[in-house]
Amino acid sequence: MKKDFDKKLNNSLKSFGFLFPENEKQLESFLKEIQNIEIPENIKNCSEDFSFKREELTKFIFKDEGNLAVNYLAQAARKGGNIPQNILKKMEKDRDNI
Amino acid sequence: MVDDKHLKELETYADSELLLLMSYQEEEELEAKLAFEAFRRRYNNVLWQACSKVCSFYPQSEELQYIVYNNTLLSIYKYHSYDESKGNILLWIFGIARNELKMALSEINSPEKALSEAESYKLDLLIESEPEEEIEETFEASIIKKAINTLTEREQEILLTYHQYSDGNKHLPDPVLERLKEKYQTTSANLRKIKQRATEKIMAYIENCGIKV
């Protein structure tokens, strides 16, 4: 029963946007879930040129509270490329919070 | 630089034709990049929305979302290995995005260790595994969303990470396991217990809604 539950849960997660879908049925539900998500202007309709550069998160700092690391800073190492303003602001905010 | 007229023409091409043109990136780079641009314009918005939704459940969600989105597009350009007979192209695109998310989550805290892992994920793009036995049943969307919301941030991340690999019952790859162990200052055994407890909480929530599990 537990395995069946896990499978049904997994199918639900892939259908309702918690994980990427893997089959047609999941895709159908997934697309309904995401259809109203807002797209930033700089992403919408490819208004900026694609950089053809791989992006990576390279820095990760923990700030522990007891046994649980609940805060962190990630700084994306992007050599040029198109970094959306909202992401830059978020990164600055994260840095200030450390 | 972009030949708008030619790009407009390419936008009328079928997916398979655009992907074929992308495969000529060594011989005719400009044409390959234009074909990619036409393909990107077709699927850009839905890819962004999908990355936005799935990455929202992880730490560093905004950065992660941008990285998965960008690297998925780059992998499409590099690998262009879609086989029409295997079904909907969106499933292929989202399959690449899934790999990119796994790679990004592996790389977050251990870029060196992730390197070899990343290479093997790249191979996943070319070698498709046999699909697992599919089940069609799901829980109701509203119930599953509320059930997931009862979990702590830590439980959510651990449960979803496990479920990225099979139906949550497979072992996690070492870089992923190491990242979670370091982040939550815990052991592999405890991670499995947290995942188990999260599953039980969801099960209990669903049962409390009067649904037999």
Tell me how many residue pairs between chain A and chain B have CB atoms under 8 A apart: 185
State the Rg of chain A over Cα.
19
Contact A54 B62 (CB under 8 A): no
Nearest to A90 among B62, B101, B138 (CB): B62
- Give per-residue pLDDT as tens, A6-33: 999 999 999 999 999 999 999 999 999 9
Contact A22 B88 (CB under 8 A): no
- Give per-residue pLDDT as tens, B134-165: 667 889 999 999 999 999 999 999 999 999 98
- The predicted pLDDT at position B175 comes to 85
Find chain A residues with C-beta within 8 A of B136's C-beta: 11, 25
Query: For the residues B16-20, what does the mean pLDDT come to?
Result: 95
Report the residue of B52, B69, B167, B191 to disrupt the A interface, i.e. the one with the largest count of A CBs within 10 Å. B167
Question: Cα distance from A65 to chain B (closest Cα, Å)?
Answer: 10
Report the residue of A2, A3, A11, A12 to disrupt the B interface, i.e. the one with the largest count of B CBs within 10 Å. A12
Give the integer Cα–Cα distance in Å for A64 and B151. Answer: 20
Contact A57 B67 (CB under 8 A): yes
Residue of A nearest to B88 (CA): A24
- Are the beta carbons of A53 and A81 closer than 8 angstroms? yes
Contact B168 A68 (CB under 8 A): no
Please list, residue by residue across B153-190, b when 16 or more beta carbons sit within 10 angstroms of its beta carbon and e when fewer do.
ebbbbbbbbbbbeebbeeebbebbbbbbbebbebeeee
Q: How far is CA B212 from CA A1, B108, B122, B207, B208, in A?
A: 11, 39, 40, 6, 9
Contact A17 B54 (CB under 8 A): yes
In chain B, pLDDT over 70 holds for what percent of residues?
84
Question: Cα distance from B93 to chain A (closest Cα, Å)?
Answer: 10
Nearest to A16 among B66, B77, B145 (CB): B145
Contact A18 B40 (CB under 8 A): no
Give the integer Cα–Cα distance in Å for B123 and B121. Answer: 5
Task: Tell me which of B171 and A63 has the higher pLDDT.
Answer: B171
**DSSP run (H or E) holding B72:** helix B61-79
- Give per-residue pLDDT as tens, B81-130: 888 887 899 999 999 999 999 888 876 444 444 344 444 545 455 444 45
User: For chain B, which domains are there?
Assistant: 13-131 (no CATH), 133-213 (1.10.10)
- Are the beta carbons of B206 and B137 closer than 8 angstroms? no
Find chain B residues with C-beta within 8 A of A97's C-beta: none
| ipTM of the complex in this document | 0.86
- Are the beta carbons of B36 and B13 closer than 8 angstroms? no
- The predicted pLDDT at position A89 comes to 63
Please state, as a whole number, how many other Cβ atoms lie within 10 Å of the Cβ of residue B138: 20
